[in-house]
Amino acid sequence: MKQITLTSPSKINLFLEVLGRRDDGYHEICSIVALTELCDTIILERRTSGITIRVKDPKVPVGPENLCHRAADLLLRHSGVHGGVDIRIEKHIPVAGGMGGGSSNAAATLWGLNLLYDLGWPHEELTCLGAELGSDVPLFFCRGAAFVRGRGERVEELAALAPRWLVIANPGMEISTASVYRRLRLPLTSEKAGFTMRGLVESGQEEAALSYCFNRLEDVVLEAYPPVADLKQRLLLRGASPVLVSGSGPTVFGIMREAETARQVASSLIESGIAAVACRTLEKNPLFMT
């Protein structure tokens, strides 16, 4: 095999609680994550040596700091493969948007190189490598929805969630995850609500589970970035429920009951200059269909 094309999905946090700062500098979290149809495309092509990145989006770095570059370097070194890779990234997921685009791209790179070089590594081993790259990378090796704890490295696959229509919107700014965590003032918190939501998902009570949707980081983002707060309000007024900031933002998503309503809301936001898309949550991670 000389070349492989992979679909790299985005994620939304249906639940995100921050439990405190760890001794290693990371934050302990409890999260429930769903994957969405808003995806990037990663095209990997074998080369004799070296790693190159090609991407049209000027906001995406093409050097060693790129997560795909780091992923390729890590896997090639660990595997002892004598070869390189050309990585082409077609971006659709907002950059620094709270949807895990860079982490998903890194996971797709590890997955694709495993196939491209016929290494035969199980996805559990790829998950361990991914944890070395970033907290969000491991969840993209799940088959679908996931229950995430620790700093993000403890990932448990959940029962498949039925596809739901979303409007995903981005006000056109980038937010540093680190800056959001620096502003966060934690009350006394626990994982209880997250475990309750997980139990409802596992027992098929999805409507009840959605009543537990929550993001501890959201208040910080809404206060510091008024355009994000305005965007959330607009989605609420158009009937989306629940509406949440995904991760550390600035992307906002709202769950819609009907496809046509989702498309209409997305179109109205686009007409007003907001980047928006109507899409569904995914039952299955497209990496497992590669």
pTM comes to 0.94
Which helix (H) or strand (E) covers residue 254, if one does? strand 252-256
Residue 290 lies in a domain: no
Q: Rounded CA gap, 166 and 177, in Å?
A: 23
CATH of the domain at 92: 3.30.230.10
In a domain, 287, yes or no: no
Percent above pLDDT 70 for the chain: 99
Determine the 3-state secondary structure of 165 from DSSP: strand
- The bridge status of strand 275-280 relative to strand 146-150 is unpaired
Which CATH number does the domain housing residue 238 bear? 3.30.70.890
Write out pLDDT tens, residues 64-119: 999 999 999 999 999 999 999 999 999 999 998 899 999 999 999 999 999 999 99
Counting the structural domains of the chain, the total is: 2
Per residue in 5-27, pLDDT tens?
Answer: 999 999 999 999 998 888 777 78
123-182 pLDDT per residue, tens: 899 999 999 999 999 999 999 999 999 988 899 999 888 999 999 999 999 888 889 998
One-letter amino acid of 108: A
- Whether 178 is covered by a domain: the verdict is yes
Same domain as 169, residue 150: no
Chain mean pLDDT for the chain: 94
Q: Which residues are catalytic?
A: 11, 136
Residue at 289 is within a domain: no
Question: Are 99 and 173 within one domain?
Answer: no
Any residues with CB less than 8 A from the CB of 236 and at least 6 apart, and which?
A: 243, 254
Q: Are residues 150 and 256 in the same domain?
A: no
Asked whether residue 220 falls in the same domain as residue 81, the answer is no
Same domain, residue pair 62 and 90: yes
Q: In terms of residue numbers, what domain contains 38? A: 3-159
Q: Are residues 119 and 222 in the same domain?
A: no
Q: Which of 125, 159, 193 is the last residue of a domain?
A: 159
DSSP assignment of 34-96 equals EEEEEEEEEEEEEESS-EEEEES-TTS--STTSHHHHHHHHHHHHHT---EEEEEEE--SPTT
Q: Is the domain of 172 the same as that of 69?
A: no
